Amino acid sequence: MNPEKERSKGHGGLPKADPGARILTFLICFITWIILSGRFDGFHLVLGVVSSTIVALISADIFFPAFRLKTLPGIWIRFLGYLPWLLYQIFRANLHVMYLVLHPRMRERIDPRVITFQSRLKGDMAFFVLANSITLTPGTVTVFVSVLGKYTVHAIDAESARGLPGIMEDKVEKIFQ
């Protein structure tokens, strides 16, 4: 057994996580449960509490690996500032894909390719946000991300691939600084 892994486990084999991270994970899960279920009877609320507790116990350290109450609001504010820019990029990419699909010589315009690049981002959550931002942008799909930040991305054409990692990586990096 790896002694380093054993030290990272808390009582009962559960991963160590700050109690604040567990509470915040529980609240996020439970609020999401209530919104998505739309049921407010005792049975469904108890199911939500049980499910949210299990998720919080098992995965709070995944959602908040270095939970610090002081830095969390800044990350959320920067992320909320990133969203309008991302939505604009999604809109622009939609127009580009629409152009490709509706073009009379569509077969000549679409030139799929797979590109790889090494990201300078640090941390799983930054990798996650960049990968999902790429996938949400029409014309590109993140195929694989290594734990060291090497990305493999499928792009519908050269123009869609040209901007990677580019400005998007810079903006994601600013969220997690």
Q: pTM for the whole thing?
A: 0.69
pLDDT band at 172 (very low <50, low <70, confident <90, very high): very high
List C-alpha distances in Å: 1 to 58, 95, 157.
21, 53, 47
- Pair 62, 24: CB distance under 8 Å: no
- Pair 128, 81: CB distance under 8 Å: no
Residue 14 has pLDDT above 60, yes or no: no
Look over the chain and give the mean of its residue pLDDT values, rounded to a whole number: 85
- Pair 20, 67: CB distance under 8 Å: yes
- Pair 59, 67: CB distance under 8 Å: no
Amino acid occupying residue 154: H
- Please give the average per-residue pLDDT across 42-53, as a whole number: 93
- Please give the average per-residue pLDDT across 8-36, as a whole number: 76
pLDDT band at 2 (very low <50, low <70, confident <90, very high): very low
